Amino acid sequence: MHCFFVFILFFGSFFYACKDKDLIREDKYDPGKPTVFSDFSPKKGAIRTRLYIYGDNFGTDISRVHVYIGERELKVVGANGKQIYCWVPGQTSTGQVRVVIDGDSGTPVEHTFNDPFTYIKSTTVGTLVGNVDELGNSSIVDGDFENARFSYPAWVTYEPESNVLFVTELDRAVRRIDLNAQMVSTLITNGQAAFTKMQTTTLSANKDTLFLSDDNGNLTSRTKVAVAYTLRSENYRRVHPYIYDPACFSTAPHPVTNEMFYNGLQGIGIKKAIPDPVTGELLPKLLFRVGGSTNQSSLIFFHPSGNYAYIVSYTRIYKSIYNWETRELEPPILFAGSATGGDVDAIGTSARIGRGYQGVFVKNPAYAGQADEYDFYFCDQNNQSIRTLSPAGVVSTFAGKGSPTPDGSVKGYIDGDPRKEARFADPTGIDYDAQRKIFYIAERDNKRIRTITVE
């Protein structure tokens, strides 16, 4: 069965590669000839389906070609005169396929096919950007989505105002993915603001400030920047120091008050940035330590209400209540997982987590009217999956570990159905675009940014 699946996967890839290569041949538009529309295929599909329009005299300038399913415009990728190749986007509906080609005289050529395209709603894992060479190697390469590459993408932050992603290449740089222009650029490197090992990024409550945490390697004194910031008004190009302290791994601005909470390495100290009453300089205040004296890193994530935060520390997720009177996080309780790692979907401390990493709160329509309407989605790096934590403390697997190999391995790179097909390789970064209902996943080992589109 595995060999047959691999054959089908290879054959399908070869088939599409051949079809895409055909589009390289140029048949320029001839205004003296009629434009012919003969057919399109396939007749049904889900998000990211490759749709082909067949005919003659289409031209090769894709800026003049527009394809619609109903009122939803598709992304046109290529045209060779006899074929138009495009992608079906998410949130499409079943409808007629309409093609409009802008003419030289200003009068467009338009055609609507009789057969409708049937859109199949689905939750699907896809690939946004990133690739590797034949040996599986990659590096930091800027450029369009076809050519851009990543070295060690570990954390992702979505900024809705500009529709961009910030991807932290762990210990190396912060990259910027412009989703509108489909371009990747390097925003900040370790050399700026005296960074040593950049760890994570977080947006302020009003989404106009990007905070950057740094494992500065200084564990004994406040001589290096632990947290820096950069502003949207400056196009995120200038880096300013925020607070000086030993190593920081994550920042968590309160979603209502915008007060800064962050973690230090020593005993996983959870701290708050407090302004000095005389100088105004931000100083660290240690609130508590998580998990005893262990030096494992931790990551802090505030609930959108600001009422509490989850503290993710390897195989455990703690819950810390925010005290609105003292305006501080209180010492946490162990909410899910245990000191013993594993891979078990269950409630509370009966659940087992391999290594929890970045997480994001997402509203669940099924909880409408309840005290807490959000699930917490988080990456489980060691278990190669995306998991959820419900308000009641139930841990379940959302995506990954599909189509395991004969030896039981679930690590890999396969798009498709989240549980039946999809595989990940060291996923550690996740954020969510609530408007478009898209998760963005950063994978260290696959060196790609993946998507999970929910419909």
CB 138 within 8 A of CB 447: yes
**Distance of CA 2 to CAs 5, 9, 383, 406, 413, Å?**
5, 10, 21, 7, 15
Instruction: Compute the Cα dihedral for 405, 409, 414, 419 and give only its sign.
Output: positive
User: Does residue 3 belong to any structural domain of this protein?
Assistant: no
Name the stretches of the chain with pLDDT < 50.
Answer: 1-25
CB 29 within 8 A of CB 60: yes
Residues 210 and 247 in one domain: yes
Domain at 361, CATH number:
2.120.10.30
Gap between the Cα atoms of 219 and 432, Å rounded: 33
Residues 115 and 128 in one domain: no
Gap between the Cα atoms of 176 and 150, Å rounded: 11
Taking residue 200's Cβ as centre, other Cβ atoms within 10 Å add up to 30
Helix (H) or strand (E) holding 9: helix 2-22
User: Does residue 427 belong to any structural domain of this protein?
Assistant: yes
Q: Checking phi first, is residue 280 left (phi over 0); if not, alpha (psi -120 to 50) or beta?
A: left
Domain range for 240 is 124-453
Gap between the Cα atoms of 363 and 300, Å rounded: 19
Gap between the Cα atoms of 3 and 279, Å rounded: 68
Residues 176 and 216 in one domain: yes
Residue 274 is predicted with a pLDDT of: 96
Residue 295 is predicted with a pLDDT of: 58
Gap between the Cα atoms of 349 and 341, Å rounded: 11
- Of the residues 58, 91, 119, the one at which a domain ends: 119
Residues 135 and 112 in one domain: no
Cα angle for residues 306, 165, 71 (degrees, 5° grid): 100
3-state secondary structure of 348: helix
Residues 371 and 225 in one domain: yes
Residues 94 and 139 in one domain: no
Q: Checking phi first, is residue 48 left (phi over 0); if not, alpha (psi -120 to 50) or beta?
A: left
The DSSP result for 133-184, as a single string, is -TTS----B-EETTT-B-S-EEEEEEETTTTEEEEEETTTEEEEEETTTTEE
Gap between the Cα atoms of 449 and 131, Å rounded: 9
* Residue type, position 60, single letter: T
Residue 48 is predicted with a pLDDT of: 78
What's the token pair of residue 374? 């959000």
Residues 268 and 413 in one domain: yes
- Of the residues 119, 146, 161, the one at which a domain ends: 119
Taking residue 244's Cβ as centre, other Cβ atoms within 10 Å add up to 18
Residues 51 and 158 in one domain: no
The DSSP result for 262-298, as a single string, is EEESGGGEEEEEEE-TTT--EEEEEEEESSTT-----
Residue 11 is predicted with a pLDDT of: 39
The DSSP code for 196 is S
Gap between the Cα atoms of 388 and 386, Å rounded: 7
Residue 118 is predicted with a pLDDT of: 96
Residues 96 and 177 in one domain: no
Token look-up 């925020």 returns 242
Give me the number of domains the chain comprises.
Answer: 2
248: closest CA among 236, 234, 259, 262? Answer: 262
CB 373 within 8 A of CB 364: yes
Residues 316 and 400 in one domain: yes
189: closest CA among 214, 210, 224? Answer: 214
- Of the residues 102, 119, 136, the one at which a domain ends: 119
Residues 106 and 217 in one domain: no
Residue 2 is predicted with a pLDDT of: 43
The reply to whether the predicted model has a pTM over 0.95 is no
Determine phi and psi for 288, rounding to 5 degrees: -170, 170
Q: How many helices (H) and strands (E) does the chain have?
A: 1, 35
Gap between the Cα atoms of 252 and 242, Å rounded: 13
Q: What is the CA radius of gyration of the chain?
A: 24
Gap between the Cα atoms of 56 and 76, Å rounded: 17
Domain at 114, CATH number:
2.60.40.10
Residues 442 and 300 in one domain: yes
Residue 377 is predicted with a pLDDT of: 98
Token look-up 């930091």 returns 140
Q: Compute the residue count for the chain.
A: 455
